[in-house]
Structure 1
């Protein structure tokens, strides 16, 4: 069974358990950080900013609880072209690097020489998803589409009830139901 990893969250999975496949979507200017080892233990994180990389320490603690072999991890940092050239995204990748180096658990010498950040969508406006399959021990790209295309469950119309269009739009994005206030 697979587990959806939403933005600003992470998930750890193990082969042969209830959750063995992790998937995230809508990676455009965001950064995904994923890893899987030869034991079939993996993780997937979807970061939106540099401050969100602080959860890497929590990920490492959860991996320790599963007795993961850190020397065999295949690690991937992936972003879109828009995220790669965006200076606001650079602290995210630097934060990932810093936390991984600080832990001292992963074999980073060969990993950092091979690649720093992979660009998985070479067109500026294209968005992708990431799948970590602990059963097959793979990390791959999925759901490749233009960033203006929306999935069926998301309708880009804010709820009615508030006079300001921006407030309605922000409330819609976070899922808050708004009530129209009566004029005095």
Structure 2
């Protein structure tokens, strides 16, 4: 097991042959595509990648990510913290190789002759794990001043009930002579 900074590029086949596990932390600020979605680029991502070969001799990468990110709550428009955790298993395939024969539970990851962009893979998984509509837990936040939801108007007893336009059809349905 190697602790320290996550290397940006790796050869997953060589690491799997040696049974290597990489663990480390990465600053959120070093992930520009992720930071576009956030209100703050502070914090770190804890990541672990285990490289091994399974029973079918496939190269497998098991990844685990943990962090907390700051996004704008879509209810109150204030920053909110969201914990992000993800566990992933990839079967490494050569470019162009079919993923049809992969065992269930694996995501296909095509890798050619060039090294795998491990930081890019980590960033992709973090982006996919972000909440679609970030909001605080119910009851924690309120609408911003001036943007409260309108209250439903109360019905007065004086208002006449409108006739249902389909009441004629209901009468026809009840009449046995029709």
Q: Which interval holds the TM-score relative to the shorter structure?
A: under 0.3
Larger Rg: 2
TM-score by length of 1: 0.22
TM-score when scaled to structure 2? Answer: 0.22
Which has the larger helix fraction?
1
Q: Whose relative contact order is higher, 1 or 2, with alpha carbons under 8 Å and at least 6 apart?
A: 1
